[in-house]
Amino acid sequence: MNYKQRIKELTDLINQANYDYHTLDQPTITDYEYDQRLKELVDLETKYPEYKLDYSPTDKVGGVVLDSFEKVTHQVPMMSLSNVFNTDELIAFDERIRKVTDSYTYLSELKIDGLAVSIRYEQGKFVRAATRGNGQIGEDISENVKTIKSLPLTLNQDIDIEVRGEIFMPHKSFNKLNEERMEQDLPLFANPRNAAAGTIRQLDSKVAAKRNLDIFLYQIVNAEDYVSTQQEALEFLKSLGLKVNPNYKLNQNLDELINQINIYDDLRKTLNYETDGVVIKINEFDLHENIGYTAKYPKWATAYKFKAEQQTTKLKDITFQIGRTGVVTPVAELEPVFISGSKVSRATLHNEDYIKAKDIRVGDYVVVHKAGEIIPEVVEVDMSQRKEQTPFEMIDHCPVCHEPLERKDGEADYYCTNDQCPGKHINRLIHFSSRVAMDIDTLGEKVVETLHDLGFLNTIADIYTLKNHENDLKGLPGFADKKVEKLLAAIEDSKNQSFDKLIFGLGIKHVGAKVAKVLVSNYPSMDALRQATYEDLIEINEIGEMIAQSIVSYFEKPEHIELIDRLSAYGLNMSYESTKVIDHEFNGKTIVLTGKLENYTRDEAQAIIEKLGGKVSSSVSKKTDFVLAGSDAGSKLQKAKDLGVQVLDEETFKVKING
Ligand code: IVH
């Protein structure tokens, strides 16, 4: 086979499929075909990195890790938009235009609620993407932007052009991200825009790649060099293969425009992404100069802001919820109201600082909305209805066990520090037996609560001694003999559950299902994991400082060691069998890359090593098996020599990977 040609064929095919799926929203091949082709391409690129094209779709998975973002000066400043909030203000805007010209049309577009980006292509190839920053100077976010699947890295024409648009996170990706964060006890993003902003500022582009950002382009820098109206500009962007929001309309006059805004206001509720208004632009570019600019925004455009759907209702009470890691969260108990199609009777109040900053008090009438149209949140107090309400005081004792709460320096949350707190116990037990963890289906929330209250269940280990109380259980109301037998059988079965589910089930702070998998593949037994040091753990790609610290702290606690020893004695599965057995010298080995490689990028070398079962680490230690040293290698090479670690040059590496 001609591999060079096949790589080109697959690259084009997959890029086209990405375009059809992500840009046009019209898939042309099945997911299965797509995966097969992508796999073939990844394999070929690994074997023949020299044929890999610079616009390969395999680059969309990220991989580059930066120390910081470079500054970028915008050749043409990125301006913002003036706002209008109602029809009267829109009429006034129209009147100001009319003073300059009476022959014009409007181009109305949806205002996407994300963050602005300016992207440069040279000779039709992506070269750089920058944030708006202060409008004059932004930051280079190329690596993260490159991972956006709907953004092509080559255009349909070999031109030099700078385009601008909005990066956003679709609702679906936002919900998935917050679900994962909830699982890992990480703070949730309040709305999709914050999530998109947080993602685009990730230094590790692999993180950005996983979060499924999307983009709509709406502007060409120096557009009049290419076309003469905004409508043509949007058509031109599309013809280049760029993603343009389909919801734009040419409006001949103010009446048509107002009508269109109403249509958009209905439409936006059905969309999979956030919009906060309509951007109204004078369509004809030759009028722009005459209408002019202020220092901050063009006078030939404005943003009509939609009213966010919110309701005022009475705050009946503030209650407190305790999570499995002991965080105590204040919750607003509301007189029920309908917002964006659903009944809301509880809303988050986040933490003490949030409540105090907004001076929220029980008995107040509060404005509630859905953050990102999803999570109900108290926005502010309607002070005109304030009477004698008493200021909020954060509780200082746990609502469940009544032990003192603790607020750590620099954190907004209060924790119950009592490890014996039943609130935590119940939540831990529920988490342990849940479907995503040990999957003991007959041990649901209600059963856990009942058995806990009756004193049968206190810690996780007690689950496995329930069988000693079979007769007692059978005497309980609501516990028929059959039910008890099924429960005990399910508990026995769970002893064979996979090791990663057990680790996840233990409820170690910041260790979600995915992190648990990563941990067990690096430490395939409980003994190995228990002995892992902070330094060992942060060597693993997916494990950051916070997670590493949390794991080490967990295993330092005597009660956790006792728990694990008990679970081990009851016969729970505490080891992980890797399913992939790779017959290669690099399998299971740790390799450090240093210096400049001739034939591979760092990413390519890493991908090859990982494919062969090896692990790439960033620093040399006693545990390093090989150092792959390119030209100009510095201190890492020296350290390898000092420690007697085997050093490979590129030639030897090539021989080894092929052999
Ligand atoms: S045009 C010179 N069109 O809204 C004005 N902006 O509040 C250039 N935005 O900074 C902007 N959707 O981030 C334009 N269809 C759209 C937009 C849009 C969202 C954002 C953009 C801008 C902000 C101004």
- The strand pairing partners of 298, in sequence order, are 293
Q: Judge whether residue 569 has pLDDT over 70.
A: yes
How do residues 597-628 score in pLDDT, each as one tens digit?
A: 888 888 788 878 877 878 888 788 888 899 99
Q: Judge whether residue 634 has pLDDT over 90.
A: no
C-alpha 81/C-alpha 215 separation (Å) is: 19
pLDDT at residue number 412: 86
C-alpha 444/C-alpha 426 separation (Å) is: 11
How do residues 36-51 score in pLDDT, each as one tens digit?
A: 999 999 999 999 999 9
- Domains of the chain (ranges; CATH) run 3-61 (1.10.287.610), 73-305 (3.30.470.30), 310-406 (2.40.50.140), 422-494 (1.10.150.20), 499-569 (1.10.150.20), 590-658 (3.40.50.10190)
Tell me, using a 6 A CB cutoff, whether residue 233 lines ligand 1: no
Which residue's C-alpha comes closest to atom 21 of ligand 1?
116
- CB contact at 8 A, 318 and 354: no
Tell me, using a 6 A CB cutoff, whether residue 219 lines ligand 1: yes
Q: Is 623 a catalytic residue?
A: no
- Measured in angstroms, how far is the CA atom of residue 190 from the centroid of ligand 1? 21
- The strand pairing partners of 292, in sequence order, are none
Which residue's C-alpha comes closest to atom 17 of ligand 1?
111
C-alpha 648/C-alpha 659 separation (Å) is: 14
- The strand pairing partners of 318, in sequence order, are 332
pLDDT at residue number 446: 85
Q: Judge whether residue 594 has pLDDT over 80.
A: yes
Q: Judge whether residue 472 has pLDDT over 90.
A: no
C-alpha 172/C-alpha 214 separation (Å) is: 11
pLDDT at residue number 373: 53
Average pLDDT, the chain: 90
> Lowest-confidence range among 94-108, 126-140, 154-168, 176-190?
176-190
Tell me, using a 6 A CB cutoff, whether residue 166 lines ligand 1: yes
Sequence-distant (6+) residues with CB within 8 A of 576 are 498, 499, 500, 520, 521, 524, 525
Q: What is the average pLDDT across 364-376?
A: 79
pLDDT at residue number 550: 93
Determine whether 152 is exposed, middle or buried from the number of CB atoms within 10 Å of its CB (0-12, 13-18, 19+).
buried
**CA nearest to 169, candidates 158, 177, 161:** 177
pLDDT at residue number 342: 67
Tell me, using a 6 A CB cutoff, whether residue 112 lines ligand 1: yes
The helix (run of H) or strand (run of E) holding residue 197 is helix 192-200
C-alpha 145/C-alpha 168 separation (Å) is: 11
pLDDT at residue number 371: 66
**CA nearest to 584, candidates 615, 626, 613:** 613
Side chain identity, residue 508: I
Tell me, using a 6 A CB cutoff, whether residue 81 lines ligand 1: yes
pLDDT at residue number 635: 85
SS3 state of residue 345 = strand
pLDDT-based confidence at 110, cuts 50/70/90?
very high
Ligand 1, atom nearest to 83 Cα: 7
The bridge status of strand 590-594 relative to strand 626-629 is parallel
**End-to-end CA gap in the chain:** 21
pLDDT at residue number 149: 94
| Candidate list 111, 358, 501, 509, residue with the active-site label | 111
C-alpha 195/C-alpha 415 separation (Å) is: 25
- Measured in angstroms, how far is the CA atom of residue 70 from the centroid of ligand 1? 23
- Measured in angstroms, how far is the CA atom of residue 302 from the centroid of ligand 1? 9
Tokens of 331: 């919750």
Tell me, using a 6 A CB cutoff, whether residue 379 lines ligand 1: no
> Lowest-confidence range among 57-71, 199-213, 462-476?
57-71
pLDDT-based confidence at 340, cuts 50/70/90?
low
How do residues 412-449 score in pLDDT, each as one tens digit?
A: 889 998 877 888 888 899 999 998 899 998 898 889 98
- Measured in angstroms, how far is the CA atom of residue 122 from the centroid of ligand 1? 24
Buried b (16+ CB within 10 A) or exposed e, 217-249: bbbbbebeeebebbbbbbebbbebbbbbbebbb
State the alpha helices, DSSP H only, in 417-480: 422-433, 445-453, 470-474
For tokens 């090859």, the residue is 608
pLDDT at residue number 603: 79
